[in-house]
Structures are given as C-alpha cells and as structure tokens.
Amino acid sequence: MDCNCVSDLLLPPVPALWTPGFAFPDWAYKPESSPGSRQIQLWHFILELLQKEEYQGVIAWQGDYGEFVIKDPDEVARLWGIRKCKPHMNYDKLSRALRYYYNKRILHKTKGKRFTYKFNFSKVVLVNYPILDMANSPFFLAQNHFNGGSATPDCSPEAIQSLFPRLPDTARGTSLFDRGSAAPGPEGDKLRLDTFPFLSSGTPCYSKPPSLLGPYPRNPPFDYPWGFNPYLPGAFSLNNCPKLPPGSLYPSQFYPNPLQSSLSQLPHPFSSLLPPGEAGGGERGQTGGTNGTAGGQPARLCLPPYPGSLTMGRTDIGNGAALGERERVEANPPGTGLSLGLGAVSLGAGTGTGQQSPSERRGGVKQDPESDSDLEITDLSDCSSENENEHEFSIGKESGLVNRPQLMLDGKKGSLLPPISSLPPPVSPHPLKSLMPITPPPPSLPSSLSPSMALHDRHREAETLKMIHS
C-alpha cells in the first residue's frame, strides 16, 4: 500500500519561491525530529488550496478574515487523501484532523455555518518586520483596543523584539524548508524559507482575500524565476508526489484520468491547464464550478480574506506564555472584540459573510481540558467564531480604519498580524494601498499579475510572518 507519494519532499523549492518573507512556525512543519519528513500538515494544505483559484469551487475564503468554507468536502478530502496518499480519506476523517487543530488553536469551527472553519491567524506573527517602523506605524498605535483597555501598548522595539525570538538570524534554521531541503547549501538559512505562500502574494484575488502582505514588496531573497509563477498550480507541491512514476503525479487510484497526469508534468505554466478540480481527480465541477482556470489563466494567489487589517497583538508570541498572558480572556463577550485573530479588524463588514452568520449562540465556554500547549486556553475568543463576525468590527470599520492598518491585540493573548495588504473583499475592492504603513506604498500592481510584480524593488527586510507557536 504504499502509494508512493512523497509529496512533501518536494516542497522545499517551491515554497521558497512563494513568499519569501513569510513563514509559518516551525512547528508547522515537522520538526527535525522527523527525519526526512516534513510532511505537509493539513492546515498548510488547506491554505494551499485556499490560495489557488482553481479550487475555489471546492474550498474558499468566505466570511471573516481567516474563515473559509469547504464547499465540497468530499473533494477536499480526496485531495488531502491524494496528498497524503491516503486513498480512503474522507471528510469525516479529515474533519477529525481539523478538529484536532482546535486545541492547538490553529483553527476554529465557525458555528452555525456548515463546513466553515476559521484560521486563527492570531497566531501569525510578522517576523523580521521592521520593528521600528512598526512601532511607529499606526498599527501599533492602534493596537490595544481591547486589551484591558490599556492604552499603552508596548511597542518598543525591545518589546517587539521579544516577541520574536528568533528573527533573522539564522539562528537555527528551523524553518521549514530550509533544512530539509537538500540543499544544505549555503544559504539555506538565510531566510527561512519557511515561507508561506499564503500571506503573500501580491495580488488580490478578486473577491477573495488578498494577502496579508500582499502588496508590498519584500525583498526576495531570491527572485522568482519568472516565467514561472509559483502560484500556478503546477508550482505547488500539491502536485508533486515525488515518488510517483513519471506519468502520474498521484497514485493512480487518484488519477483516473490520464490527461491530468500528463498535464501535470508539464512545465508550470501548463500545469495550470489542469482542471482544478481535477487535480484532484475528476472533474467534478460540481461545486460551484468555479474552476476556471482552464484557459491557462494563471491562478492568482488568493489570500485570506481580509487582509486589510493587521492585527498585531502581543500575544503569545513566542512566549505567549512567557508573556504571562496565559490567561485568556475567556469570555469573550461579544463585543469584545477579541477574537479575531486576524480578522479583527478586518472589518467584517465587507464580508459578505459576516452577515450571514447569525447563528451563533453559544456562550462558548468551554474549558479546555487539555490543551496542548500551555496556552491553550482555549480561547474562546478565537474559538467561537461567534464573535468574530459581528464584532470584529468595532474597530475596523467604523473608523474607516479600514484602510488603515490596525492592530489589535487581543486581550490577553494578542495576536499579531502582519500588515496586510489588501482589503477585504467585500468592502472594497481595491487594495488598500494605504495600508502599508511600513513600507512605501507599493506601486499599484495590477492584480492580475503574477506575484512577480509584487516583488518589485522594494526590499525591506524580510518580513516574515510567522505563526506563533505557543
């Protein structure tokens, strides 16, 4: 039964290209402990699908920032099964794995909305971000609304720094790909490639989410080999199942259709030709059928929904615990705003979804029994999606902050967010250029362009987003 899929091994190269500046936490990947394995993790995979336009009919950002809907559970499960070489994967199992993230606070279920989950981006931290700039930036200033109301955020560089324990240095390369990659090479560590695609990108998707950082150019450690769009389907590791025989990316069981396989082998650009759903396997256009990539239209990176806001919090960053924040706010009463991880700000307004979710009711109190990490405080805030939708708001929208970057802290754990670039789809279509506090405004990029555009010259330090690990 082995399906020869090695899928992840290939990752190294690819991801690196995606977004140079962002990274997920190391923990997101398999620690070194695992020998070679940096197996892809489910949430990572989900993010991957989310950023591809081709899969919008299957899974897409919707609702609050970080919130996504699995439109076609079976398909997502199938794709996941392919990736993991688990032919018998199904939504029930996949969802179990997703549930497993609740305690880790990576994801939360949006109650009341079927197949809807939300990433807890509050764990995302921007690393290597120009601190000073940040401090000055509105983001920071804005921060703390909620927190105990304290008005003072500690934005001092030091403070910030402390948040990011491992910044730039190469300190250990714990990053994702760097190490594993075969390239022990020289620079492997320089930037951790840990990058995550998702947050980056430059162009907003139409309605979808732009990237967190989107627009601004970060200096790429390496440039994208243009001509090849990392965001294209072929670029993703999704398609790679290394061990598979050359004609097929996935085990045959998954790929009934020969055509696909062949396409997949083509150079990136071509790979886009593959029908989206297909990648998975069949064409099930079913869902909404948004598959549109067909014509070879490049897939744009879609990021999380409302990037417009940034949230920064203090949070647990590296040490959430360390910070002592351990206690979470539990009840995040409605209205408090906390939760949002990222979304906090985003104004949910726009979102279309926000509206729809009325369903929430629960008080959400759950205690968490075991949290894995210490922080686990099950934060209700995040957890309950409830608030998110509605409350997010407060800040964001009204003030028009929308455009401005805001940072929010959560009360206790804060979260940070990176500067995001774009705005929430619903609200306004155009990216907020104004967002970028830090960096100079990016030139307006056509959104449809490939990421390369985004890169531009500007190089700042490498900003890295990381999820914080608690």
Partner DNA sequence: ACCGGAAACG
Partner DNA sequence: CGTTTCCGGT
Given the rule CB under 7 A, which residues bind DNA?
27, 30-31, 34, 39-43, 73, 80-81, 84, 86, 88-89, 92-97, 99-100, 102, 109, 111, 113-116, 366, 369-370
Kindly give the pairing relationship between strand 464-467 and strand 116-119.
unpaired
Nearer to DNA (CB atom), residue 31 or residue 258: 31
CB of 423 to DNA, least distance (A): 27
CB of 295 to DNA, least distance (A): 32
CB of 41 to DNA, least distance (A): 3
C-alpha distances (whole Å) from 284 to each of 87, 193, 254, 372 are 17, 34, 13, 38
CB of 91 to DNA, least distance (A): 8
DSSP 3-state of 111? coil
42-51 vs 91-104: helix crossing angle, rounded to 10: 110
Nearer to DNA (CB atom), residue 237 or residue 271: 237
CB of 436 to DNA, least distance (A): 32
Nearer to DNA (CB atom), residue 102 or residue 146: 102
Residue by residue, DSSP assigns 233-271 as: GGGSGGG--TTS-TT-SS-TTT---HHHHHHHHS-HHHH
Nearer to DNA (CB atom), residue 80 or residue 196: 80
Q: List beta partners, residue 59.
A: 70
Residue by residue, DSSP assigns 274-318 as: S-HHHHHSS---TTT---GGGGTPPPPB---S-TT------TTTT
Nearer to DNA (CB atom), residue 223 or residue 372: 372
Expressed in percent and rounded to 5, the helix, strand and coil fractions of the chain are 30, 5, 65
Nearer to DNA (CB atom), residue 370 or residue 457: 370
The whole-angstrom separation of Cα 57 and Cα 284 is: 9
Nearer to DNA (CB atom), residue 159 or residue 331: 331
Kindly give the pairing relationship between strand 59-61 and strand 107-109.
unpaired
Q: Which two tokens stand for residue 285?
A: 């256009």
Nearer to DNA (CB atom), residue 99 or residue 361: 99
Nearer to DNA (CB atom), residue 57 or residue 437: 57
Nearer to DNA (CB atom), residue 100 or residue 270: 100
Cβ atoms of 5 and 242 within 8 Å: the answer is: yes
CB of 92 to DNA, least distance (A): 6
CB of 28 to DNA, least distance (A): 7
DSSP 3-state of 146? coil
DSSP 3-state of 465? strand
C-alpha distances (whole Å) from 159 to each of 121, 155, 163, 165, 331 are 20, 6, 6, 11, 27
C-alpha distances (whole Å) from 211 to each of 16, 53, 391 are 16, 13, 22
CB of 452 to DNA, least distance (A): 31
Q: Which two tokens stand for residue 345?
A: 């700000």
CB of 198 to DNA, least distance (A): 16
Tracing tokens 């450690």 back to the chain, one arrives at: 221
CB of 414 to DNA, least distance (A): 22
> Which residues are CB-contacts of 427 (< 8 A; sequence separation ≥ 6)?
306, 308, 347, 349, 350, 351, 397, 402
